[in-house]
Structure 1
Amino acid sequence: MTHPDVLATSTARALRAPALAAGLGLAAAAVLHLRDPHDSGTYGFCPFQRLTGLPCPGCGGLRAVNDLTRGDVVGALGSNAVAVVMVAAAVVLWCVWVVRRVRGDHAAQLVAVGTRGGLAVLAGLVVFGVLRVTPWGSWLAP
């Protein structure tokens, strides 16, 4: 039988990576909350948009996170719907990661995406990027 102090120490050690990830994510969100990306050029300009005049799939992502930090989900969806989905997915995956670590799977990683999953995400981003610059998807434009 394992001593409770050993289990507590081992669990605390296992939660270091999730705690670091959460800290980095919260720090990034705090920066975006405090320095509003809605002001043009605050964080520079999108090179793709500068070259083509069209928004890339990531355009509006910083504004979406800023909107989320203020509780404006509708505004965030209007800035970049994919960014909102990605933030929600990151929170859910982080929670799963923490639960797995607490339950004893101390080697559990944040997420493991296979080739098919990666290609599906990439295809989704391409479809989103193309759709948002067409008349049918103009409501997705930032």
Structure 2
Amino acid sequence: MSIATTGRRGTTRLKELLAPLGVAGATVAVFAFVGMVDPNQPGHYPTCPFLAITGLYCPGCGTLRTIHALAHLDPATALGMNPLAVAMMPFLLFWWGRWVVRALQGRPRRTTLAHPAWLWAFIAIVMVYWVVRNLPFGAFLAP
């Protein structure tokens, strides 16, 4: 199946592919920028507001350093900075791939990301991760 097909159906497929390709382009741009501008050096990025106000880590703390490590093909360091962000990446890649396949097949976009039970489970995991990484026995989860 060719992306550059002619006619109305091909134009519709190309339009449907623009959004997932735009997300892929933005993701590549973020990885390239964070890969070049080291978040471990002070002054390049703002401090996490939650960390600055409370002194506690939020679920996203360490994600820029995780992206930087992954951009430099260092998964061990990435896992040490934010293991939840690393664990989420295969799921995000799967959902993005499903989006591309649906666009190529000309199927309509789904209005739901996943079954609500999965979304509630994800929210629960993030909340537990947030609490545990700030407790003494969860210090290994801190960036």
TM (normalized to structure 1)? 0.85
When structure 1 is superposed on structure 2, of 59-68 and 117-126 the one drifting more is: 117-126
In structure 1, the residue matched to 2:52 is 50
How far residue 64 of structure 1 moved from its aligned partner, in angstroms, is 0.4
When structure 1 is superposed on structure 2, of 15-24 and 47-56 the one drifting more is: 47-56
| % same residue | 36
Query: Which amino acid in structure 2 is aligned with residue 90 of structure 1?
Result: L
In structure 1, the residue matched to 2:138 is 137
How many Å separate the matches in 1 of 2:103 and 2:112?
13
* 1:33 equivalent among 32, 35, 39: 35
Query: Which amino acid in structure 2 is aligned with residue 34 of structure 1?
Result: M
How many Å separate the matches in 2 of 1:88 and 1:36?
24
Query: Which amino acid in structure 2 is aligned with residue 67 of structure 1?
Result: A
1:69-123 Cα distance to aligned partner (Å, 9 max, x none)? 1111111110001111223222121111111111221x22596245433332221
How many Å separate the matches in 2 of 1:111 and 1:32?
30
Alpha-carbon RMSD = 2.0
How many Å separate the matches in 2 of 1:124 and 1:11?
36
Aligned residues: 138
Please list, as runs of the form range in 1=range in 2, the aligned pairs for 1:1-142 lying within 5 A after superposition: 5-6=6-7, 7-105=9-107, 107-109=108-110, 112-142=113-143
How far residue 59 of structure 1 moved from its aligned partner, in angstroms, is 0.5
1:13-36 Cα distance to aligned partner (Å, 9 max, x none)? 221111111111111111111111
Runs of 5+ unmatched residues, structure 1: none
